[in-house]
Structure 1
């Protein structure tokens, strides 16, 4: 019996170790691709690269859709930041999704909105619209008041209302850098519309000085939980998305900041309202539609344009967010499960989908099993301690080292954090990720899986305090 138990322990230990090695190899490849891509992009003259795009002759007009539900804390500042972006032709459409706070009233009062009558062509399904407003002082600012239907439904309403061939989905608590639209639209314009969707970077505004919707000083929060999220975002965007985008394998464009071709989104059916991960599900559906129609279009990520957004500062709200994200990941993968290893869908089916299933979805289950196994091995003693040490070293390599690499990529390329002390702080915090932050996120993501098993579809309230003064 002891021998059989030893065999089971050995097999389980090697399964976890092999899994983690595979993940480490994958991330190493992604890191190398990201390094070369960033080096290629940032050898260019950034200012000269975007100057020509201020001419209306070259650019494409964009509709900015801002779904807003109980965003009274930051909606005025967010709209103000959008009104000052460097872009020739755009409109702003704030969609009030049945807010129960003062979001609607604040918008009407501050921007002198007056009700207008307008016939809207319903190209995708959505909840009924109550009223439509237009600013008397800013002709390109609109406010659509509708029945509550969720973020995806609000985006569909904005899509129906929009006037321009490209639209941007933007969270109501976000602040854009002034040249963000020039940068995120550049690949679409340069490709002669071969690129049908382009996503920018999302950075964390907590700890920054933001006044009247403008970034005055970039800094770090004094809360460890927020600092760890900054590192997590750097790794997700500067490593993961650059590498996947390089080979047209990107399955996620953040709902906080992305530009899409209106034609292709409508052709795909708009946003689904029955999933909590509507942004990923739309991108996957667009990839699927392109493959089925034999269209060689691209969906890309651009690291330079940055949108600053507020993140949770306490464990309760962060836990809700991560559980919801993991449920959204599963829903997107499950809805389109036929793509997995399907030769009809090329590299999306053979590379992107297996990666998201094996690494992103099942990864937390394997990691949580590894943490539990490491603890048990320490109590068992003997050879099991060696297993425990092996798994711990692999988890450190998997977590902290790649997080440190992401911080260095940030300093090498975008340099959004000007103070050396901030980079040092990020670097030191990244060393501790495996010890506390990653186990927490792994546990929360596993809780998201458990919620799906028991049929719990609760959303969970996200409290915002606003990031702009």
Structure 2
């Protein structure tokens, strides 16, 4: 045993030190993002309560909007999503918009439910051509609603989410389009808020804006509107609530400050239609179509000197249904990780390329070394921790410091995000729910983070060995009554 220990002493020592330095750097970077987010949110705190965005409703500078809802096997959630856009007191508080639902060859009753609920009839004497020229799978039929004239339904052959979005872009007629998921529920003033940077900075070009996404599970949702915010008691859902807070409030706010944001969630984002068409629409052969499009827009913005920006707006809120089982959470996270790699690989020439400025030297390396390679480094951290314990506690001091850093990196940053979100919005009415979130945030490093790490490492090896993955099916229970 001593000979084996001596053999691995130097390599293990070097690996321990390298991983330790890596996590120190990551913790410092995330602390900087946290401070930047706190500063920005502090200036905006309370704006969602006084609703200063309402003046946009009657402004002639507020551009009309096409809202595209791609749906594949979304029979449990799509009706609630559409209702949150078009009906009752929850109807979007926006001056002019159209809603384009794209049924991407669903195998369930998504198409039939939308047709029946909204009295959809085929559009007569209309040739199904590509208005905006993006290639897509064949369109079977186009419908319009007899009761809501601004509601359109496209039924097409299955081609994946990106292809469905492209079909919606082809049918859109307004200068900006929004992409939202089929299980998304919006606050009525969400689009007024997410469009504010575009209206406020009319002299500057905004290519895209992204909004804040929260978890719908556990909330009371009636006719597509959140009536009461409650916390799900499912441990996986609770951890996803915390994870979303950290990702959106810390990472995206901090990166967008200097136009470095490379991800706009497919659940809630707005894009300039003309520029997306120039870019060729969404890339259909990737599972990370939302990130890939944003990176491509950044690249074209620099190469063609558009002088435009991509913004993240923390105030707009939409709610999305989170996976409640290991099986579907695993599918989602491996798909996300693969999409991250595909986006970075497609645009790899931007990495450390001075032509692309801070995008090439900060944003791309961050997403590659932290978001993509981070799980591998963390996995080897767990391996070295176990090895140190097995080999007579030779490097136990490094192992304990590394574990402490993992706890700080995961749990305490998550706790900070929870407190920041509650300080900003005050969504949870019961102190017990906030306590549950803080308790689970503290436990993250002991079970949830290692779980995600193993899944993402598996996804990394799947990418390296060329295993393919499509849009995938997700089990939906539906969040709207």
- What range describes the TM-score normalised by the shorter chain of this pair? over 0.9
Contact (CA 8 Å) 2:295, 2:343: kept in 1 or not?
yes
- Residue pair 2:132, 2:277 contacting (<8 A) in 1 also: no
2:126 is aligned with 1:116: no
Which aligned pairs between 1:192-341 and structure 2 lie closer than 5 A? 192=202, 193-341=204-352
- Report how far residue 373 of structure 1 moved: 1.0
Q: Is the contact between residue 48 and residue 315 of structure 2 (CA under 8 Å) also seen in structure 1?
A: no
Distance across 2 between alignment mates of 1:234 and 1:256: 15
Tell me if 1:61 matches 2:64.
Answer: yes
Distance in 2 between residues matched to 1:279 and 1:239, nearest whole Å: 19
Matched with 1:6 is 9
- The aligned residue for residue 36 of structure 1 is 39
The Cα shift of 1:46 comes to 4.8
The one of 140, 145, 169 equivalent to 2:155 is 145
Shift of 1:320: 1.0
The equivalent position to 1:183 in structure 2, one of 184, 189, 193, is: 193
The aligned runs of 1:427-442 (5 Å cut-off) are 427-442=438-453
Separation (CA, whole Å) in 2 of partners of 1:339 and 1:98 = 36
Aligned to 2:424: 413
Identify the residue that residue 357 of structure 1 maps to in structure 2: 368
- Kept after mapping to 1: 8 A contact 2:46/2:424: no
TM-score in terms of structure 1 length: 0.98
1:415 deviates by 2.1
Q: What are the Cα deviations for residues 137-175 of structure 1, in whole angstroms up to 9, with x where unaligned?
A: 110001011111011000000000001100000100110
Structure 2 Cα separation of the partners of residues 276 and 378 of structure 1: 40
2:122 is the alignment partner of 1:97: no
- d(CA) in 2 for partners of 1:352 and 1:122? 31
C-alpha contact 1:201 1:237 (8 A) present in aligned 2:
yes
Cα-to-partner distance string for 1:323-354 (whole Å, 9 max, x where unaligned): 11100000000000000000111110011001
Identify unmatched segments of 5+ residues in structure 1: none
Matched with 2:393 is 382
Equivalent residue of 2:214, what SS? strand
Q: List, as ranges, runs of 4+ consecutive aligned residues in structure 1 with deviation greater than 3 Å.
A: 1-4, 43-46
Matched position secondary structure for 2:221 = strand
Q: Structure 2-normalised TM-score? A: 0.95
The aligned counterpart of 2:95 is 88
Check the 8 A contact 2:104/2:159 in 1, yes or no.
yes
Going from structure 1 to structure 2, the CA distance change for 1:307 and 1:10 (only over 3 Å counts) comes to same
- Give a deviation string over 1:215-246, Cα, whole Å, max 9, x none: 01111111111000000000000000000011
Aligned partner of 2:477 in structure 1 is 465
Write out per-residue CA displacement over residues 106-161 of structure 1, whole angstroms, 9 at most, x where no aligned residue: 11111111111334414211111111110011100010111110110000000000
Consecutive unaligned residues in structure 2, runs of 5 or more: none
- Range with bigger deviation, 222-231 or 123-132: 123-132
- Aligned equivalents of 2:221, 2:461: Cα separation in 1: 39
Counterpart Cα distance in 2 of 1:188 and 1:122? 22
How many Å apart are 1:302 and its aligned residue?
0.6
Matched, 1:373 2:384: yes
Shift of 1:4: 4.7
Once residues 110 and 3 of structure 1 are traced to their aligned partners in structure 2, the CA distance between those partners, rounded to angstroms, is 72
Report which stretch shifted further, 41-50 or 415-424: 41-50
Q: Quick one: which of 52, 55, 80 aligns to 1:52?
A: 55
